[in-house]
Amino acid sequence: MLDRVTLRGLRARGHHGVFERERIEGQTFVVDLVLFLDTRPAASGDDLSRTAHYGIVAEEVTAIIAGDPVDLIETLAQRIADQCLKHEAVEEVEVTVHKPDAPITVPFDDVTITIHRGRA
């Protein structure tokens, strides 16, 4: 059974979406992450290099949000998952992308997608 490191509410402005207005004006995206890993090696030696450095992960994720635009939040979530899995200690990741300002014509609170990915 793997341990979990959770980051909630990572925010950045991105220009993702299929509509021209979304690409031009941009909007805030919020990401929640759960990194699944074995924290015992880090804990036994009190060694940051043997775990996932969540500060670096947070910076990488917000850079992806603010980076090259994509049409779908599904694609954005996959890019974030791929980056998280580049960290040696991370075995699986759950990514939730929130798009609270999605261009929907009826009242709503949030639009999200959640994906769970692991090493192949």
User: What would the pLDDT profile of 38-84 be if each residue is shown by its tens digit?
Assistant: 999 999 999 999 999 999 999 999 999 999 999 999 999 999 999 99
Name the pTM for this structure: 0.96
* Whole-number pLDDT of residue 69: 98
Phi then psi for 99, rounded to 5 degrees?
A: -125, 75
Asked if residue 10 lies in contact with residue 30, where contact means CB atoms within 8 angstroms, the answer is: yes
Asked if residue 90 lies in contact with residue 52, where contact means CB atoms within 8 angstroms, the answer is: yes
Q: For residues 44 and 38, give the distance between their C-alpha atoms in angstroms, rounded to a whole number.
A: 11
Mind telling me the catalytic residues?
A: 99
